[in-house]
Chain A
């Protein structure tokens, strides 16, 4: 009897493969809703960059959080199971920045799960100075896996491909295609800890949570 119980316990323990699933479910992998939160990244070979949640504002009739990165701003909403990003696409034509696409687009659906994929796209055009400018955009995001990145455990590894085709439909211009690939690691209750593109690598140096 004792041997049987010991054997059963051993089989159960051996079959126990534990991982912090519920920690991940309860964590905020992109905590942009705390004003004052600050992330300082080391940019490989190019100093550092600081990202700060500076305030709440309204974009596209929706209340959102504004993040400052250097001289630039980005806008985010993290609620109701989604992380949404304000996409603001422009095309440079005759010295002017022409707006071609502005909208809230879901970047991530919570909870993340290994192997999940999402794709967003837009196809639009605008007329500027009598010239039609067409704009096609597509972003595909895959959760490639789980792991430790830059010393942060339980990170989700995202791979992202973003393709933009801009075409100024007048003489001398051809469709301009740009494809950017990114590898992004998100840590629980911290956010992005590592971002690698073919041109740069950003590594989180410090994180301060706002109020």
Chain B
């Protein structure tokens, strides 16, 4: 039996604790690429395996949409998969569970403006940030924090800063 099948069976049967999360927040371009592209919004769905209480390792998919910085109709959309890891210092703490989260993956970016569109590009991307995790009750966890992120694009990096609001649920522990 393949390792993926074993992992799947272990997850489904509750042998492996999992953290299922959804996050969203505004993102702000940093640098010249944001001269004409303004604030955006980002959303992420993630699934992380918790081999230890403090550590998670998993995968996610992220999408974002930036608008025009002025009164034009330009937009930049991106989507991509990532692998992620997190580390929290006080797991299950009711009010204050600080931690860090990082991800690395690929991002497909596409820009449209005035009825046209430039060719899409696939580039490596990374992010890292801090989190303040807390209980929302009913088995749900919430977190707020911020991320620094970069798209390692051809011709230069496209960096941004984002606020993160996250809700998650741990299952299988």
Query: Are the CB atoms of A115 and B158 closer together than 8 Å?
Result: no
Q: Does A58 contact B (CB under 8 A)?
A: no
Q: Are B153 and A22 in contact (CB under 8 A)?
A: yes
- Nearest B residue to A143 by beta-carbon distance? B116
User: Out of B31, B68, B106, B118, which one reaches A16, CB within 8 Å?
Assistant: B106
Is A19 within 8 A of B119, CB to CB?
A: yes
B112 CB to nearest chain A CB (Å): 6
Contact B122 A15 (CB under 8 A): yes
- CB of B121 within 8 A of CB of A25, answer no
Interface size band for B: 35 or more
Query: Does B155 lie within 8 Å of A20, measured CB to CB?
Result: yes
B113–A116 touching, CB < 8 Å: yes
For chain A, the count of residues having a C-beta within 8 Å of the partner chain is 32
B31/A114 in contact, CB under 8 A: no
From 1 to 30 in chain A, residues with beta carbon under 8 angstroms from any chain B beta carbon are 1, 4, 12, 15-27
Say whether A80 contacts B70, CB under 8 Å: yes
Complexed CA–CA distance, A25 and B120 (Å): 13
Q: Inside 8 A of A81's CB, which chain B residues have their CB? A: 36, 68-72
Task: Quote the shortest CB–CB distance from B96 to chain A (angstroms).
Answer: 37
- Of the listed residues A1, A22, A81, the one surrounded by the most CB atoms of chain B closer than 10 A to its CB is A22
* Chain B minimum-CB-distance residue to A82: B70
B118 contacts which chain A residues (CB < 8 A)?
Answer: 19, 21, 24, 113-114, 146
B154 at the interface (CB under 8 A from A): yes
The reply on A117 being an interface residue by CB < 8 A is: yes
Known contacts A1-B2, A17-B119, A146-B119; is-contact A23 B113 (Cβ 8 Å): no
Q: Nearest Cβ in chain A — how far from B102, in angstroms?
A: 20
Measured CB to CB, the residues of A under 8 A from B are 1, 4, 12, 15-27, 80-82, 109-118, 143, 146, 154
With A21-B119, A21-B120, A23-B153 already in contact, 7 other A-B pairs whose C-beta atoms are closer than 8 Å: A16-B122, A20-B121, A23-B155, A25-B33, A113-B112, A113-B113, A115-B117
